[in-house]
Amino acid sequence: GAVVSQHPSRVICKSGTSVKIECRSLDFQATTMFWYRQFPKQSLMLMATSNEGSKATYEQGVEKDKFLINHASLTLSTLTVTSAHPEDSSFYICSARRGQEISGNTIYFGEGSWLTVV
């Protein structure tokens, strides 16, 4: 199956600093990528949908100035948590959808990134 890679898998940062998480589709072009956060023992919560070359669409309640998303190429999307605070500590997961030229309509997920803000 398709491979989506996230980096870093774990990161610890100080409160008030910013941290960037990368999401790459390794063997296919991803016209659309999605970012989620997941708290322990809870389901994934969609934060935003990212389309290559355009601004991300954020879900209600997600601060776009705090969670900056960039999808500059068909294989890379980044999530930057700005001015991080302890309550931003969570498991962040990205997913990518294959381009329309490939059938199957399947979304593939990255391994996830643990963010701890101290």
Partner 1 sequence: LAKTTQPISMDSYEGQEVNITCSHNNIATNDYITWYQQFPSQGPRFIIQGYKTKVTNEVASLFIPADRKSSTLSLPRVSLSDTAVYYCLVGDYSGGYQKVTFGTGTKLQVIP
Binding site for partner 1 (CB under 8 A): 1, 4, 6, 31-32, 34, 36, 43-46, 49, 51, 57, 59, 91, 93-95, 97, 100, 104-112, 114
User: CA–CA separation, 56 vs 101, rounded Å?
Assistant: 22
| Minimum distance of partner 1 from residue 33's CB (angstroms) | 10
Measured from the CB atom, the residue of 34 and 67 that comes closer to partner 1 is 34
What are the φ and ψ backbone dihedral angles of 69, each rounded to 5 degrees?
-120, 130
| Minimum distance of partner 1 from residue 12's CB (angstroms) | 15
Q: Within a 13 Å sphere around the CA of 86, how many CA atoms are in the beta-carbon half?
A: 1
Measured from the CB atom, the residue of 44 and 76 that comes closer to partner 1 is 44
What region does 44 belong to: left with phi over 0, alpha with psi -120 to 50, or beta? beta
| Minimum distance of partner 1 from residue 16's CB (angstroms) | 26
User: CA–CA separation, 4 vs 32, rounded Å?
Assistant: 12
